[in-house]
Amino acid sequence: MLRKLRFFPIAVLLLLGSTAQPARADWLFTPYLGAAFGGNTPSEQITYGGSAAFLGAGVFGVEFDAAITPDFFGNDTPSIGDSNVTTVMGNLMLAVPLGEPGIRPYVSGGVGLIRTHATSVSNVFELNDNSFGVNVGAGVIGFVSPHVGIRGDARYFRSVHDSDHGRNVDIDLGGFDFWRATAGVTFRF
């Protein structure tokens, strides 16, 4: 029995490889809607944004992703009146093309800006923080026609800061983090 199980992963990879069709280079644009949750969010918050990606004829691609989450810290925090978090990220993608018009599962990761804004109820304080950030995620794009598809995506975002305060390059993960899950319509050009 163990001998048969040992060859199962190889069989799965061969099956996936035999169903993959030759890919073409694609430009993709995806407006999306979703939710930010976990980490520093007190509750799920609506998020929206867009992604522009170039996926090459193979499995590698690049992506520019921008999103905003209004009321990031929610209305449950009595001292915070208005808040939002904006992310702008440049990512590398690894996307496997399966069939035509195709399904493309992918993983992505990259770096960029996490901008946090918050004001107190009586405008006593205002926080505007621009942090270097990282994100990693995975998702799938399923095309229903040669030019239109549906995309689902989940990503983890985390701020990064210089722990040596400018004397040397010593980067550590910051304390600000959250997850984001989105769905959108993808247009392929």
* pLDDT value of residue 34: 98
Query: Residues 20, 23, 26, 32: what is their CA dihedral angle, to the nearest 10 degrees?
Result: 0
Longest CA pairwise span in the chain (Å): 69
Task: Indicate the DSSP class of residue 98.
Answer: B
The tokens for 11 are 């069989």
Amino acid at 137: G
DSSP state of 21: P
* Amino acid identity, position 102: G
> Looking at domain 23-188, which CATH architecture does it have?
Beta Barrel (2.40)
Residue 12: is its pLDDT beyond 50? no
122 confidence band (pLDDT: 50, 70, 90): confident
How many Cα atoms within 13 Å fall on the side-chain side of residue 136? 0
Q: Where are the alpha helices (DSSP H) in the chain?
A: 2-6, 8-19
The 3-class SS string of 82-96 reads EEEEEEEEEEEEEEC
The pLDDT of residue 164 is 57
Chain centre to alpha carbon of residue 139:
9
Predicted confidence (pLDDT) at residue 18 exceeds the cutoff of 90: no
* pTM, rounded to two decimals: 0.81
Q: pLDDT for 96-108, tens place per residue?
A: 988 777 899 999 9
Average pLDDT, the chain: 85
Half-sphere exposure of 135 (CA within 13 A, CB side): 30
Domain boundaries, the chain: 23-188
CA neighbor of 134 nearest in space, from 164, 152, 116, 156: 156
Structure tokens of 88? 């702008």
CB 26 within 8 A of CB 159: no
